[in-house]
Structure 1
């Protein structure tokens, strides 16, 4: 198999309910020596594109519509190309459309040039992710699983060929995922995690949106202990 996974870790701050939190974001590049798909580009486009190198970015997949995933999405999708027709498509679940519009609307308000502001207000994802949708890269398939709770449009990505689950901020090592310890809908998130993990092989690697990797078996064994985590810090 030629497909491989590269990881880039970037740090920054993101706002949740008007409170800023320090976040360390995992970006994953899935592909071969010629092309890659970028999952959750994070805070530092330069670092991500350095890891991409001379490879072509075929798509940018956002596992949710929170600010720390959107911040560099356009820059990474452009990958140095000036012509927008050459940019990689950006993919997001439609249920996070309001988060997308809110973020780019705030950017538009800070623009002095009205044409630039109008462009930001009108920008939309190129692909609306759907449960069961599949991306192909090198000799691997990436299957989209809708896992709402962290956000309404949160998704996870499974690759049987690579033996990995990209869980975004739906699931972190040792607990349900969050930003700054804030849970949007913990009950729905726990239901999504349970439904996601149950049918998967216990030795499948889990690469989360933040923190260290884990396995399906480790997290499945912890799942029923997480009901009272809503008030704890992440």
Structure 2
């Protein structure tokens, strides 16, 4: 299975007819957050593939009095509008705090960044721990049914000490490090940490989990990480 994983920036090569060449053989689109609705909608429409996403700290939902009435995209540098109404969404499935199965692969999602100015989709460590605890029954159910908790975790922020930075907005979560030790996902996909150096580290293996910074976009062949043990 191949994934097109996008995060944080609109790539002009993907936001064009070239997307059907660049990502022609992907099976699923994954968004790690901080992307506008029009971009995700274009990817889904062009590739005709399912989309799983989590929100970043610069995404926010807009709740309207009537569905689709006055839907407005916010295209400035601060916020990206993601419509909350079920009848007017952009073709994706929000997997935050959910565990879903697709093509025999188990996905889980955890949105947001570390708390720094009390904006939407920002959490402190205790709040993130609570979110993981609320999701854990589904993970234990997977263990009973599939003999593993989860294969791929999708988050916006990285785990603490892995691809993160020292400032609060770009700090990773210690709760994610414990999640990796406890539930042992094969792959952890995140964004949030912008990469401007081609030689910067994108992939780090931690306790058997490949943590992948998906800033901009990555095409990932899951088979090389999951193997046959699924």
TM-score w.r.t. the length of structure 1 is: 0.44
Higher helix share: 1
TM-score w.r.t. the length of structure 2 is: 0.44
Higher strand share: 1
